[in-house]
Structure 1
Amino acid sequence: MELRVLKYFLMVAREENITKAAELLHITQPTLSRQLIQLEDELGIQLFERKQHSIELTSEGMLFRQRAQEMIQIEEKIKEDFNHDAQHITGLITIGCGEALGVKYLSQIVSRFSKDNPLVKFEIITANSDTIKNNLDKGIVDLGLLVEPVDITKYNFKKMAQKEQWGILTKSDSSLAKKSLIKPQFLQTVLFVKVNIAITIKSTLQRSFKKYLQLFINSDLFSYC
């Protein structure tokens, strides 16, 4: 059963005249009559009661008209949906990011993009760089905002202009609290620090502070004193 034939049927049902319906459909009257007979044979029912100068729906034909209209409406809805998608971008974009200064810039990009593409939704997943990379590999996130140093050789990437700053938390009466800038050598007086941190940042701390601190590292956290 073709949608084209359903449209033929609906036109005849509306006009109640095969000749007039054929003219509106731009086909010959014999062709239209043959299509209707084939449709009735396919369904095994009589759709029309044929009279000398008109044609009317039978009770089965009335029920079939309702179903045919529903099918045509579905076809039109499908076409509308795909035509709409061709003109507007839709979908969900999942972004993995850490708590970094770049998030502010990212929010501005998302805001501008959303104004031009209001049908696109965004989902933000907060994680460290290693977890974000893992999620990228698994297809869980579409984009990742990573804090260097991080191995990005297998990804398409664009570096952001923002510079991230690291800091430390101390008591208000600590000598470090009075300094505007903390250098590695200042930490020689630190007795104990314990943090959970990504592997990529661990390696950076090892390189930066090895000269001044003794590091004790395991798989999940490290301490130095």
Structure 2
Amino acid sequence: MELRVLKYFLVVAREENITKAAKMLHITQPTLSRQLMQMEEEFGVSLFKRSKHSIILTEEGRILRRRAQELVDLAEKTAKEVSRQDEVISGEIAIGCGETKNLEPMAKVMAAFQQVYGDVHFTLYTGIADDVKERIEQGTLDFGLLIEPVDVSRYRCLRMPWKDHWSVLLRQDHPLAAKEAIEPQDLAGQRLIMPARLSVLTQVEAWLGRWQDEICTAAFMNLSVYNKEVLTQNGLGLALGLDFNFTLPGLCLRPMKPAIENGSYMVWKNNQFLSPLLERFIEFTEAYLREHYGAQGGE
């Protein structure tokens, strides 16, 4: 059994569609179908249940998938270990991120990585999670630093060490500035600058609860802490967003009660070929976060 054919089998098992799998593998559908039938003849069992629109694994197929993945992973790991002696780690790493405190530990990782691999440079793209995920899927970004709420089920990921906490940004001369924390009922009748990203807006509306009908939305906006502060400074409204502990003159931050906090993930595409550079950066990042911030969860 050739390793190449096992890889074909794994792609078909994942996609559950011969046509789609053949396109991904850059081979013809008849060629792929013939390879699968030869595999079934070699093992003497049916590996797939075939229908008009899909192809799914039999019990024997599921057993083979586990073993095939182990064999492919071992072969790739062995090849990397053998070739790594002469590897030259250089090139570009493209990372997309939103505005999060976790950019600080990520920046420390990047700086430490460059100290070891001086021929590596980074390209950073700032955008909301939906934009970053789209660019990862398109292949224009290698990694994303995504802030919750976000679905990362389609990605490999590392959990970042810090939590981002939400606050209300307001002018120091506003009556609510006298409060230690802002509760939903405090915002009744206020003009608010709200997040434009739908999943985040839903989170904020859940926090507001029955009081959301009592507020007036002055503006929706994504990202740019500075722009949000300029709008607040000039009286457009109170801004709800993440607390970065710095403000323009005349502004202040008050925590939201009950608290809203969001974690972040470093993500990359699942089931894709990774260059030695990207493989090394993932390994380096995981080790750095574990050493400097405690054990981090890979998911």
Normalising by structure 1, what TM-score?
A: 0.54
Change (3 A) 1:181 1:88: farther
Distance 1:124 1:145 in 2: 10
Task: Please name the residue that 2:134 is paired with.
Answer: 134
Question: CA contact under 8 A between 1:88 and 1:117: conserved in structure 2?
Answer: no
Instruction: Compute the displacement of 1:216 (Å).
Output: 8.5
Computing the radius of gyration over CA atoms, which structure comes out larger, 1 or 2?
1
CA distance in 2, matches of 1:172, 1:117: 47
Q: Distance in 2 between matches of 1:115 and 1:160?
A: 21
| Contact 2:184–2:209 (CA under 8 A) maintained in structure 1 | no
Task: Decide whether the 8 Å contact of 1:130 with 1:200 is kept in 2.
Answer: no
Match in the other structure for 1:168: 168
Equivalent residue for 2:199? 200
CA distance in structure 1 between the partners assigned to 2:85 and 2:197 by the alignment: 40
SS at match of 2:140: coil
Please give the TM-score of this superposition, normalised by the length of structure 2: 0.42
Aligned CA distance change for structure 1 residues 207 and 195 (closer, same or farther; 3 Å)? closer
1:112 aligns with 2:112: yes
Shift of 1:95: 0.4
Aligned length: 139
The RMSD of aligned alpha carbons is 3.0
Q: Note closer, same or farther for the CA distance 1:85–1:123 as it changes in structure 2 (3 Å cut).
A: farther
**Matches of 1:197 and 1:85 in 2, distance apart?**
48
- 1:84 positional shift: 11
Unmatched segments (≥5 aa) in structure 1: 1-82
Q: Deviations over 1:4-47 (max 9, x none)?
A: xxxxxxxxxxxxxxxxxxxxxxxxxxxxxxxxxxxxxxxxxxxx
1:138 to partner: Cα distance:
1.2
Aligned equivalents of 2:142 and 2:150: distance in 1?
18
Query: Which residue identity is paired with 1:132?
Result: V
1:96 aligns with 2:96: yes
Matches within 5 A, 1:67-86: 86=86
Give 1:213 deviation, angstroms: 1.1
SS in 1 for 2:123: strand
**Gaps in structure 2 of 5+ consecutive residues:** 1-82, 223-236, 238-299
Change (3 A) 1:221 1:102: closer
Task: For residue 211 of structure 2, give the secondary structure of its aligned residue in structure 1.
Answer: coil
Give the deviation of 1:108 after TM superposition: 0.2
Q: Does 1:154 align with 2:162?
A: no
Q: Distance in 2 between matches of 1:130 and 1:216?
A: 26
Classify 1:216/1:144 alpha carbon distance in 2 versus 1 (closer, same or farther; 3 Å): farther
- Counterpart code for 2:202: S
- 1:148: how far off? 0.6
Cα distance, 1:197 vs. partner? Answer: 2.2
Share of identical aligned residues, percent?
26
Paired residue secondary structure (2:96): strand
Post-superposition shift, 1:153? 0.8
Give the whole-Å Cα distance in 1 for the aligned partners of 2:84 and 2:153.
37
Give 1:16-95 correspondences, 5 Å limit: 86-95=86-95
Q: Which amino acid aligns with 1:120?
A: V
Matched position secondary structure for 1:167 = strand
For 2:101, the aligned partner's letter is L
1:177 corresponds to which letter in structure 2? A
Aligned equivalent of 1:143: 143
Secondary structure class of the residue paired with 1:88: coil
User: Which of structures 1 and 2 has the larger relative contact order (alpha carbons within 8 angstroms, sep 6+)?
Assistant: 2
Query: How far off is 1:194 after superposition?
Result: 3.5
Matched letter for residue 106 of structure 2: L
Residue 201 of structure 1 aligns to a residue whose secondary structure is helix
Whole-angstrom distance in 2 between the partners of 1:179 and 1:161: 30
Task: Specify whether residues 90 and 188 from structure 1 end up closer, same or farther in structure 2 by C-alpha distance, changes over 3 A only.
Answer: same
Segments of 4+ in structure 1 off by > 4 A? none
